[in-house]
A and B are shown apart, each in its own frame.
Chain A
Amino acid sequence: MSPVRRAVLGSAVLLLVVAGLLPVAGMILRSLTAGGHLGFEAYRGLLGSARQWSLAGNSLLLAALTTVAALLLGVPAGVLVGRTDLPGRRLLAALLAMPLLLPPYLNAVAWMAAGSASGPVARVLGEGAARTLSHWLFGLPGCVLVLSTAFMPLIMLLVAAALRGVPPRLEEAGLLAAPWRTVLLRISLPLAAPAILLGAALVFLLALGDVTVPPSFRYPVFAVESLSQFSAFYDLSAATAAAMPLAAITAAVLGLEALVSRWTGAGTAGRGREPGPPPTVPLGRFRLPAAVTAWSVAGLLVGAPLLILVLRAGGPASYAAALGQAGGSLVRGLLLAAVGGTLLAAEGFLLAVLGVERPRGAGAAADATALFLFAVPGAVMGVGLIVLWNHPWANLIYATPLILLLGYLARSTAVTLRICRATLELVPPGLVEAGRVAGIGWGRRLVWILAPAAWRGLAAAWLAGAVFCLRDVGMTLLVHPPGWDTLPVRIMTLAANGAPELIAALCVLLVAATVIPVGLLAGLVGRMEAGS
């Protein structure tokens, strides 16, 4: 093995371990040494309290309902946008995916504004309707609505990608005997089952660990009431003890997911090597009803909240005030996102290369680690980072934005890793082998051949990485150094007592700061692709 290869890939693995695994390990240690000696003291308080158990019950209920709702929305959406001739499917996919790019609580702000006494529903349908809406949303239903909207795109995107990776021959064999509907249900979707399972597991874990939406609807959950509270008051031993069950559940759910998908044995979906897109499924007479339904759902879940925020924000005065209050946070957030996205794309690319070269050994371990760190609640990771780095000797990291970049690497490498991996698997192995025979060393093959051949994936990874940095709240809220809050964090802190117009204007700014760059870059990539 070339020394360059060992050094480069070794550093990438080491970075993931230092950024993500060490904080978790530090946390375990800390939770076991509360009070200065080894023991389970910190857990005793936690496990002995009836309140914690009821909070845990609430959390699990919320996560389960969110997963069910996200599956009901995400699987059909994935089929429709991934494989059918639904009118406007690309735009629909973009619209439905938008909430994943934004902090989930934006929709919570919007729905609360919708139901407020002076909100749009009250103005159009009367105050009674507004009261009914806000009464209905308050508590569990609002949380499920917002979180399933936010995380459903994960399932949609995974299902769409898996369906596009089903070998066309398998479907064609079915089409000789049965109509498309049957082929999709009996052949394509079962082959996509691992993707659906992974999506469901991730949605469950993300909903379980969210600390931003439940407080908006005053729904008490474990991650907020225990973890965030304890860490806000710097009771770190209690916070680490509260973080442990969440980290353990994350590991357990992902382990179970891996086991089940191995048992079912389906690993072929999503790894198609055959060139060209798979055939499009004609919707026939269902085309119009399906389009109306899909677009209405997207309008209600994504369009309506955005419209409400715009209406609520009102005129330019609100935006001027918003920029005055949080312009600095916006700039800092974008800057951190640009740097973080670059780091994440590089890290994801290198680990994806490792995954392609060593699909069973180190590559699989890196992928599992990244996925675990992605699913660990942001607040848990935040507590871990504090425990690990809040020491005088680590001020260079803890008191600077480096701590945030480490956290972003820990939390979102899975995203860029999976994107790069999917692209690398489409690069014919001959391209790299031809480089080897031509005497080109490992590092140069990476830069001269592999990266250019996978540039589309790298661009997408950079964009996704940046967006996932910008949208992070749970972790950033806890660990950002003084003067380095980002826009979503600033909105969270202002939301408690800021004027509603100001908050709405800030939310719209955040949407614009995310969606405009994403749209521009996606358009640019699309044009370059059409040109080549």
Chain B
Amino acid sequence: MSLLALEDVRVTFGHRVALDGVSLAVEVGERLVLLGPSGCGKTTVLRLLAGLAVPDRGRVLIGGRLAAAEGRLLVEPEQRGLGMVFQDLALWPHLSVAGNLELGLRARGTPRTDRRRRVRAMLELVELGELAGARPGELSGGQQQRVALARALVLEPEALLLDEPLSSLDLELARRLRTEILRLQERLGFTLVHVTHDPEEADQMATRTLRMDRGRLAG
């Protein structure tokens, strides 16, 4: 059984068809990269998996369980247990770095001391221990990326969805962060679905690559 699966999904926005006839399966522990030009539907695939979008046709399965089908959302995003790093990061500006990591744990009812410990450990792991009290607005682009990554990982998701997380960084920094993501994946063992338009990035990150073009899987 695949961890995540799309079965023949179609997504439209008004008259525009964003995805058509897309089927894919993500296996536990793999690093799947979706590679394709801007506008081809990569973000939409991630939003389907996360539950932030619903397919007009076809089905979405999470852990073998039907999560959305034919225009209906059956499992809410908050119940899917996935982590996601958004293309624009979407860090909560009114909370500190530690606060950004803590919120999901709080929602889950994790006790305070446990929360603190896990947040601190995760921040150490992404080398942001010093900046726990800073606001996202005070950080550099690379530091913000790492906060977004840590915010997703601290919840120990089964799978991590990365939406072009490195596209706004300079080449050197992007390369370093890719190494860091690989190191984290090895250490924590999550499944990775990574979206990018950059072939070099795909080569470095993927155990398997799928190409996308104009709302369809190619090849």
Q: Which residues of A contact B (CB under 8 A)?
A: 2, 428, 430-431, 433-441, 444, 448-449, 452-453, 455, 532
Contacts and interface: CB of A to CB of B under 8 A. Distances in A.
7 contacts: A433-B52, A434-B90, A434-B151, A437-B82, A438-B151, A448-B107, A449-B103
A435 to B, nearest CB: 7
B108 interface: yes
B90 A431 contact: yes
A440 B107 CA distance: 5
A434 B84 contact: yes
Nearest to B85: A434
B198 interface: no
Given A2-B76, A436-B76, A437-B80, 17 more contacts: A430-B88, A430-B90, A431-B90, A433-B52, A434-B84, A434-B90, A435-B104, A437-B51, A437-B83, A437-B84, A439-B79, A439-B107, A440-B103, A440-B104, A440-B107, A441-B78, A452-B94
A439 B110 CA distance: 12
B81 interface: yes
Contacts of B137: 532
A426 B204 CA distance: 37
B67 to A, nearest CB: 13
B104 A438 contact: yes
B86 interface: yes
B92 to A, nearest CB: 6
A448 B52 contact: no
Nearest to A455: B94
B155 interface: yes
B83 A435 contact: no
B18 interface: no
A439 B88 contact: no
Interface in B84-140: 84, 86, 88-95, 103-104, 106-108, 135, 137
B216 to A, nearest CB: 25
Contacts of A448: 103, 106-107
B48 to A, nearest CB: 13
Given A430-B88, A431-B92, A453-B93, A438 B52 contact: no
B50 interface: yes
B51 A436 contact: yes
A161 to B, nearest CB: 22
A532 B80 CA distance: 35
Nearest to A439: B78
Nearest to B80: A437
A2 B77 CA distance: 12
Interface residues of B, number: 31
B86 A438 contact: no
A119 B94 CA distance: 54
A487 B72 CA distance: 54
Contacts of A439: 78-79, 81, 104, 107-108, 155
Contacts of A452: 92, 94-95
Contacts of A430: 86, 88-90
A434 B86 CA distance: 8
A288 B106 CA distance: 57
Nearest to B82: A437
Question: Max chain A CB contacts within 10 Å: which of B79, B94, B155?
Answer: B94
A434 B83 CA distance: 9
Contacts of A455: 94
Interface in B133-174: 135, 137, 151-152, 155
B77 A437 contact: yes
Question: Max chain A CB contacts within 10 Å: which of B78, B91, B104, B137?
Answer: B78
Question: Max chain B CB contacts within 10 Å: which of A435, A438, A444?
Answer: A438
Contact of A438 (B51, B89, B107): B107
Nearest to B79: A439
A441 B106 CA distance: 11
Nearest to A452: B94
Contacts of B95: 452
Nearest to A432: B90
Nearest to B135: A532
Contacts of B78: 435-441
Contacts of A532: 135, 137
Contacts of A2: 76
B76 to A, nearest CB: 7
Contacts of A437: 50-52, 77-78, 80, 82-84, 152
A210 to B, nearest CB: 41
Contacts of A434: 84, 86, 90-92, 151
Contacts of A438: 78, 83, 103-104, 107, 151-152, 155
A453 to B, nearest CB: 6
Contacts of B91: 434
Contacts of A433: 50, 52, 77, 86, 90
A458 to B, nearest CB: 12
A436 B90 contact: no
Contact of A441 (B52, B93, B107): B107
A434 B137 CA distance: 17
Q: Which 8 A-B pairs have the closest CB atoms?
A: A430-B90, A438-B104, A436-B77, A440-B107, A452-B94, A434-B90, A437-B84, A439-B78
